[in-house]
Chain A
């Protein structure tokens, strides 16, 4: 299989990844979807989850993302995220720390906007914990 898809993973602070890969699986809000070469053009929002990067038929890299956007077109996949962490760097302790902080914020939230944001942060933390649990 010589076909590859150009993957670009970008966070506001830097360009994390820009290289051709065999396949990439991204956590869309409507469910995970895989992108192979010649995928139909799609723009999708992402939920918290893990991006799997496939090379030579196996998962080469995994990144935990907290949400963002993915754009698939003829030139490749562009993934915009707020934060991306290599899965190997995620630990249960870190996830728990976040969950406590998010829960705290939710308890303190006074208006709907704050509540919405805190709930979101909580979901990210829970997903992170789940990922950490799977990795361990």
Chain B
């Protein structure tokens, strides 16, 4: 049976763990608020970009000569999977959910006989996928979002994707990230970003004039749109991560609390048992005299 001192040590250690998890929960809560604001602030841009792209794409509908990034390469033999995870752990099932989804996708594609390449954004995804798919990972980005996600960081990722696409290194690119639904729910989502899925527009009702030309604008707009999509998912991911961490830490704090009360109960019982035992010893000693 553990001694009283053992109990005291256990209780003290659980208590300090509880302090840490509850502090982490509060930090995550405040970071979540900021991340959510950032994600919301980025929304107008991507919405308007989508509208503009829709208008432009309308004028290309059914026409040959659309840029490759929209029309595709005409093949789909090489897939690039963009796996977006967090840089840090301790956020419940957040990273593992994304990674599981990525693994499933990679297997699916491999079963279909496609060639798969992986681009990791986030340290956790890279570390985990490196174990099984070391030779598939073409590159990884882990130095980002130290404080907040900056657009330039997303631009870097998208520049890499664009460069690879222009060099003909892949045909289709899918990105996997956690869409932020609420602080409690994050949905792991897949989104095809290359070739760009043309939004179903109500056809450009207004005939636009284009400066310089529609083709040039589209060629400029598409890579930029890619950067925006990546930026947006990075923001969503950041918000999801904090949401997941907050929930995980909340659970951990509650568990620690339960554990402490259980241990305290046992500690008190043991203490009483010892006092009783001592008393019995004294009494029976006195009786024997």
Interface residues, chain A, CB within 8 Å of chain B? 8, 10-15, 28-30, 40-45, 69, 71, 73-74, 78, 80, 82, 113, 117
Contact = CB atoms under 8 A, between A and B. Distances in A.
Contact of B52 (A14, A40, A71, A117): A71
B217 A41 contact: no
Given A45-B212, A80-B45, A80-B52, A69 B207 contact: no
Contacts of A40: 209
Interface string B33-60: 0000010011011101101100110000
Contacts of A43: 52, 55-56, 208-211, 214, 217
Given A10-B48, A12-B42, A14-B41, A69 B211 contact: no
Interface string B181-215: 00000000000000000000000001111111010
Contacts of A73: 206, 208
A39 to B, nearest CB: 10
A44 B214 CA distance: 9
A8 B154 CA distance: 23
Nearest to B42: A12
A82 B55 CA distance: 20
A11 B55 CA distance: 20
Contacts of B46: 12
A29 B211 contact: yes
B221 interface: yes
A14 B227 CA distance: 15
A11 B231 CA distance: 12
Contacts of B143: none
Interface residues on chain B, size class:
20 to 34
Contacts of B224: 69, 82
Contacts of A78: 48, 51-52
Contacts, number: 84
Contact of B45 (A10, A30, A117): A10
Interface of B: 38, 41-42, 44-46, 48-49, 51-52, 55-56, 151, 154, 159, 163, 166, 206-212, 214, 216-217, 220-221, 224, 227-228, 231
B41 A15 contact: yes
A13 B42 contact: yes
Nearest to B37: A14
Contact of A41 (B38, B159, B207, B214): B207
A14 B42 contact: yes
A28 B211 contact: yes
A29 B212 contact: yes
Contact of A13 (B38, B159, B208, B212): B38
Contacts of B45: 10-13, 15, 80
The 10 A-B residue pairs with the shortest CB-CB distance, nearest first, are A44-B211, A14-B41, A15-B44, A12-B151, A41-B206, A10-B45, A42-B209, A41-B208, A12-B45, A43-B208
B49 A80 contact: yes
B251 to A, nearest CB: 33
Given A10-B45, A15-B44, A74 B206 contact: yes
Given A13-B38, A14-B44, A44-B211, 7 more contacts: A12-B46, A14-B42, A43-B56, A71-B208, A73-B208, A82-B151, A117-B159
A8 B48 CA distance: 10
13 contacts: A8-B44, A12-B42, A13-B41, A15-B41, A43-B52, A43-B55, A43-B208, A43-B210, A45-B217, A71-B55, A78-B52, A80-B45, A113-B166
